[in-house]
Structures are given as C-alpha cells and as structure tokens.
Amino acid sequence: MLLKPAESNAHPIDINSLRDLKRHLGELDVSLEEIERLSDAFLHATIKLEGVDSRAAAFMRSTLENLGGAIAMNRGAQDFTERDTTVIVSGSRRTLQLLAARLRGQPYGMDGLGAEIASCIAAGNRTISWGARTLDFTHKTYVMGILNCTPDSFYPGSRSATTTEAMKNARQMIAAGVDIIDVGGESTRPGSEPVPEDEEIRRVVPVVQALRSESDVLISVDTRRRDTAERCLDAGADIINDISGLRSGDELARLVARRKVPIVLMHMRGTPKTMQKSPHYRNTVSEIIRELRQSIAAAIGAGVEPEMIIVDPGIGFGKRIQDNLRIIRELASLKSLAFPILVGLSRKGFIGEILDRPVEQRLIGTITANTLAILNGADIVRVHDVADAVQMVKVIDSVRRIGA
C-alpha cells in the first residue's frame, strides 16, 4: 500500500539556543524583534536544585503545575518524610521566569531559589572586553595553544627547553591561526612536584617578553602564583589562567582585580601531586559547579569584576575517567554559572584509556572530545595541536552559523 506524502512535511526541529531560534524563525522572515519576544516561549530549560526544603518543593510543585511546567523530587519529600530534597524543574524560559517571580518573598528559602532559577536562565556574559582586547563568544569559539616552558610536561611534544625553542613553537601556532597562547612554567601533570616560583619566573617571563615584542596575539599565563602573574603582566601578558581556582589565597585575585584582566578559574581537588589519589564524586558535575561557585565568590570578593571571569571544569585534574566523560556530556550544566567555559582535555590520560593509545597517538581522540565539548557549550579549547584545532573550530562554527 502506498502512503500519500504528508502535505505539511511535518518534522521535528532542534531549538536549544537563541542562535537556533534565530536560524529557524529567520527562515520564516520573522523580525528580530519578534524573535526576541518569542524566545522565552520557544526556549526551554531544565534546572536541578539541591537541598531544597520539602515545604518549598511542595509550593514549587503546585505553582509549576498551574504554569504548565514539570517538576520531579525525592519520593520522601512528597509525603514530607524527608526534610530536604533535590528538585528538577523544567519548562519554557517564560514558565521558569514566572516560577522565579512567584518564589520571591516566600519562606523556606524560596526567595533564594527564585534568584538561582532566574540566574540559570539568564543569557550570561558572552563578551569580555579589557583595554583594547575583546573576546566575543557570541560569534566564535577560541583556540588556546599550550606553550609549555618545562622539561617534564606529560606530552613531550609540547615541551620547550629554551626561549628560542618556545618562540619557534609560538610562531607555528600564530601561523596556524591560534587565538590565545597559554605560557606555563610548571608542569601540573598528575604526581608532579611544585616548581619554585623563581624558577617558574625564569622560565616564562623571557618567553612572554619575546612573544609580546614580536606579536599582538593574546597571551595567557598558566600560573597560580601572584609574583609570577605580576611579572608576566608587566611583560605583556593579557590573561591569567589559575588551575588552583584561587585556593592558594586572595593575593592573585587582588592582583587580577587591580590590573583589570580576565582570569580563568579551574576546578581541582588537592594539588597536582595528590589529585589522582583515589578521587571520588557522587555527582560529578553538581559538585564541580558547587566548588567553582566558591572560587567565583573568592574572586568577586577580592574585587574581580564578574565580566572578567572564565571557568574551567578541570578535566583530568582530580577526576576519574567516568568523571571526565560526564563533564563533557553534561558541560551545558556549567552555563548555569553564566560565565564563558574553557575546556582543556588535549591528549589527556582518559583519552589514552579509552583508545589504548600513548600520548603521541591521541590526536583523533582529542579532536573528537573537543568537538563534543564545543557542541555542549565550551567557548575556549586549550590544545597542543593548534593547526588541527583551528580547522575543527572553523567547521563547527561554520555549521552553527549557517542561516543565522
């Protein structure tokens, strides 16, 4: 029996972002003003809230049911045999905005819950500007090239023993189209010992000076130490990349605040020497978000402007293989922090475990994992293989921009 073709050609479409909405509605010649008006109805969100008072959860449930949204919670919270519960709410952004509004001024912590829900569905910071510099994440995914001025980084192909060798590698990155070069003088591979600060300074400052004298490329410095950061900023660096997430104290944060430059706050438990000794998470992404909030609060408390903050979930830093995979799959959850997201997974051990390949043979795995990370929300990818990453990013960004 032949079926008559459907005259309407009905088929589902994916609308997961304002960019998707603009593309699809733009094809209908819908005005930008109308798209903005419709965005809260077309765009949906699902938000997880932890430690919610069961009485607040009951109020949220009745409210959401009236608004046409959905909510899930622990069974014990429904009959009030448990005091606190984890809650998952879902609906259009408009529905969740109304929920947030109705929680304001209510008891049992609902006022704070409303603020958190509103924050989760906000657009977040999509542009960082300082001095004559700008990172615009609305139009581009950025490639950060790794320039290790170290003798012992985990990937031998990334090591630069001298300033001359470092500059040779930097020139290759620039020719390949790198956006940011991340200069580091201390290996943070699992089990590594800390490097004395004067040695770190000796390794990185001449490279930053040479690079700045030759190029206008954005320079990031991978350090957790205030004096190293200051010397590098004086030499022409633009960004500070702190793997400790400011857990070493507030001196570095105060310097960043005073110099008004961006800072990357990375999640890590322990130190590079101890971080892989039996790491454990019950809910990987939830715990990372909670602990990153502490780093963010420390930065803002020291005077860093929120517009200068980038977050990094710390793939490979105190994580098991399943934790790293879960971070990539659930990376979009970090958007609730409303900051640009950096991901550094290049050639790391979890890729080697999956593929059973040594570090020298992990390029394809790295490209694949970075592609998934970008599709799930990464704004910056930190890589060893710049030329390959630049090609990857151009294709991904071109696909996402088509029709926009």
Question: Please, which residues have CB within 8 angstroms of residue 221's CB and are 6 or more apart in sequence?
Answer: 182, 183, 184, 204, 208, 228, 229, 232, 233, 237, 239, 240, 241
d(CA 15, CA 35): 13
CA 271 distance to own-chain centroid:
20
Closest CA to 327 of 343, 349, 308: 343
CB 329 within 8 A of CB 376: yes
d(CA 398, CA 400): 5
- Annotated active-site residue 247? The verdict is no
Which of 348, 362, 400, 401 is labelled catalytic? 348
Pairing status of strand 180-184 against strand 218-222: parallel
Question: Please, which residues have CB within 8 angstroms of residue 353's CB and are 6 or more apart in sequence?
Answer: 321
Closest CA to 70 of 49, 91, 86, 54: 91
DSSP 8-state symbol, 291: H
- Annotated active-site residue 22? The verdict is no
- What angle do the packed helices 226-235 and 251-259 form, to 10 degrees? 20
Q: Catalogue the E-assigned strands of 11-141.
A: 44-53, 70-73, 84-92, 127-130, 133-136
Which of 22, 226, 319, 382 is labelled catalytic? 382
CB 11 within 8 A of CB 392: no
Active site residues: 348, 382
